[in-house]
Amino acid sequence: MSTETFKEFEAGQEILKHGQNASCAYMIKSGSVRVFVSEGSREVELALLKEGQIFGETAILDGGVYGANISAVEDTELLVITPENLQDILEQSDPFIRELLKMMIERLKSTNEALLKSETREFMDIVLI
C-alpha cells in the first residue's frame, strides 16, 4: 500500500456496526478487537481478533455491508485498508485467482447468513467474518 493510514480506538469503543455500509477493512497493528452480533437484547461473541489479523475485507470486496459488530477490547491501533488498496492488489493477481476469490466471497456470505439465522449456539461459534 502506497500511503498507510492508521486509526486508534480506545478500549470499548465501537469500530464497525453490523449492517453499516462497508467503507474499508482493517488490519490490527496493536491491541485486540471483539467480533459479535446482537440477537435482541443478547450479544453472541463470534471471535476475538489480535495483532496481524484483518477484518472487514469481505464486505469491501463485494461492496456490501459489515456482517458483525466490532469493538476494541483494549486500546487498539488499526491499519486502514481501502477498497482501492485491495483493488490494486487484486489487479496484480491472476484472473483465475480473482474469480476464485469472488466465488469464495459469495459462498462465505451465504454461509454466514444461514448460520446467523440458526438458533444453534455451536453454529454461531464458527461464523466467519
Whichever domain contains 94, its CATH number is 2.60.120.10
Q: Is 72 inside any structural domain? A: yes
Residue-level pLDDT at 75: 99
Is residue 125 assigned to a domain? Answer: no
Degrees to nearest 5, angle at CA 64 with 63 and 70: 120
In a domain, 25, yes or no: yes
pLDDT band, residue 120 (cuts 50/70/90): very low
- Across 61-86, average pLDDT: 92
Indicate if the alpha-carbon torsion angle 113, 116, 121, 125 is positive or negative. positive
129 assigned to some structural domain:
no
| Average pLDDT value over all residues in the chain | 86
> Does residue 92 lie in a domain region?
yes
Q: What are 63's three cell numbers?
A: 461492496
Say if residues 25 and 56 touch (Cβ distance below 8 Å).
yes
**Is the predicted pLDDT of residue 115 greater than 60, yes or no?**
yes
Please report whether residue 1 resides in a domain: no
Domain around 32: 6-119
Q: What is the pLDDT of residue 2?
A: 54
Alpha-carbon distance of 2 to 118, in angstroms, equals 42
pLDDT score recorded for residue 53: 97
Q: Rounded to a whole number, what is the largest CA-CA distance in the chain?
A: 45
CA dist 112 → 6, 30, 60 (Å): 28, 27, 16
Q: Please indicate, yes or no, if residue 124 is contained in any of the structural domains.
A: no
| Assigned domain for 112 exists | yes
| pLDDT: which is higher, 66 or 116 | 66
Overall domain count for the chain: 1
CB atoms closer than 10 angstroms to residue 24? 20
pTM given for the model: 0.76
